[in-house]
C-alpha cells in the first residue's frame, strides 16, 4: 500500500522547518528533501556535516522521515561540458542524500526534446545515468528518473513536450541499459498526461518492477497549455489511476506545484486521495 507524503517542489518558498510543520499537521510522515535544486534549499552543494545533522534533527523533531530527496539535473543537453557538470552535481547530491539518510533520490534524464536526443547524445545520457548509479552503489541511496517532459511557460500557462523520459520506447531503452538495483523510475502520471499521453496509468503496469517513487498531482487544460492543479482537479482519469495504484507499495508524494496556495492545495489533494483510494 502506498504511503502518502509531500513532494518538495511546491514547497520551495517555505523554509524546511515550515515544510516539516505543514507535513506533520497533515498527519504525514514523509517529506521529500530538496537538495541544491532551489536557491532557498537549506542544503546546497557545499553542505557541511553539521548542516546535514541539523536537517536530520529537524526531521526527527517533527516525526517526519527524509526517505526521499530530490535535485535538478540535465543529462540530455547538447553541451558535453554542461552534462559533465550535471553529473558532478548529482554525485555530490548523492553524498549529501546519504548524509541525511535518504533512500531514494529523484533525478532527471533531461529536458531536451526527444526529437534531438538520439544516437551519440542518447548514449551519453545513458552513460551519465550509469555513472551516477555507480556513484550511489553501496550508499543505500537508489536513484529514480522522473517521467518529466520539457516545459516552456507563457505566464502561468505551461506547455509540456516529450523528452526521453515521457516516451515508453525511450524509457524502456534507458532502464534496460541501467542497473535495476541502483536506478528506477519516479512515476509521475500528470507529467505524462501533460505531454499528451491519453492513458498514463498504463505506465504502471509497463514499468511496475522499476517504479520506486510516485508523484501525484494534476494539470488543468487552459487555452495554450495547462496550469497546475490539485489531485482530482484536472485532466487525469483518477478512477483508472487510483485503481491501478492500489497495487503500488512505494512512497506516493503529493506534488501540488502552485506556491500561492500550497497548504490548501496539498490538503485538498490529500482529502481527495483519501476519499477515493
Q: Rounded to whole angstroms, what are the CA distances from 111 to 72, 73, 86, 139? A: 11, 9, 13, 27
pLDDT of residue 177: 97
Average pLDDT over residues 82-98: 98
Average pLDDT over residues 134-161: 97
CATH of 3-276, one of 3.20.20.150, 3.40.50.10860, 3.90.1640.30, 3.30.360.10: 3.20.20.150
Asked if 17 and 59 count as a contact pair (C-beta separation under 8 A), the reply is: no
pLDDT band at 234 (very low <50, low <70, confident <90, very high): very high
- Percent of the chain exceeding pLDDT 90 equals 98
Give the tens place of pLDDT for each residue, 114-127: 999 999 999 999 99
> At residue 55, does pLDDT exceed 90?
yes
**pLDDT grade, residue 16 (50/70/90)?**
very high
Evaluate if residue 156 carries a pLDDT over 90: no
Q: Is the pLDDT of residue 277 over 90?
A: no
pLDDT of residue 75: 98
Alpha-carbon separation of residue 254 from 100, 185, 193 (angstroms) = 21, 16, 16
What is the maximal distance between C-alpha atoms in the chain? 49
In three-state secondary structure terms, 22 is helix
What counts of helices (H) and strands (E) characterise the chain?
A: 9, 12
How large is the average pLDDT for residues 206-231? 97
Output DSSP code: residue 8. S
Residue with cell 536557491: 39
The pLDDT, as a whole number, for residue 113 is 98
Amino acid at each position: 500500500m502506498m504511503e502518502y507524503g509531500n513532494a518538495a517542489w511546491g514547497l520551495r518558498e517555505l523554509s524546511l522547518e515550515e515544510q516539516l510543520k505543514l507535513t506533520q499537521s497533515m498527519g504525514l510522515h514523509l517529506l521529500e528533501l530538496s537538495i541544491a535544486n532551489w536557491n532557498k534549499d537549506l542544503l546546497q552543494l557545499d553542505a557541511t556535516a553539521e548542516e546535514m545533522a541539523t536537517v536530520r534533527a529537524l526531521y526527527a523533531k517533527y516525526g517526519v522521515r527524509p526517505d526521499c530527496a530530490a535535485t535538478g539535473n540535465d543529462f540530455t543537453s547538447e553541451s558535453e561540458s554542461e552534462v559533465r557538470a550535471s553529473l558532478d552535481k548529482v554525485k555530490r547530491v548523492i553524498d549529501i542524500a546519504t548524509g541525511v539518510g535518504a533512500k531514494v533520490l529523484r533525478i532527471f534524464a533531461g529536458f531536451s526534446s526527444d526529437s534531438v536526443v538520439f544516437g551519440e547524445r542518447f548514449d551519453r545520457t545513458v552513460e551519465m545515468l550509469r555513472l551516477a548509479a555507480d556513484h550511489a552503489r553501496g550508499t543505500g541511496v537508489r536513484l529514480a528518473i522522473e517521467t518529466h517532459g520539457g516545459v516552456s511557460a507563457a505566464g502561468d500557462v505551461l506547455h509540456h513536450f516529450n523528452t526521453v523520459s515521457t516516451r515508453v520506447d525511450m524509457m524502456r531503452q534507458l532502464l534496460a541499459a541501467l542497473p535495476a538495483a541502483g536506478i528506477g523510475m519516479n512515476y509521475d502520471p500528470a507529467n505524462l498526461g501533460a505531454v499528451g499521453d491519453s492513458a498514463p496509468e498504463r505506465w504502471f503496469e509497463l514499468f511496475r518492477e522499476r517504479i520506486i517513487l510516485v508523484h501525484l498531482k494534476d494539470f488543468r487544460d487552459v487555452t495554450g497549455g495547462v496550469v497546475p492543479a490539485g489531485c482530482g482537479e484536472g485532466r487525469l482519469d483518477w478512477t483508472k489511476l487510483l485503481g491501478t495504484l492500489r497495487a503500488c507499495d512505494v512512497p506516493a508524494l503529493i506534488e501540488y506545484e502552485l506556491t500561492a496556495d500550497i497548504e490548501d492545495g496539498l490538503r485538498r489533494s490529500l482529502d481527495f486521495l483519501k476519499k477515493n483510494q
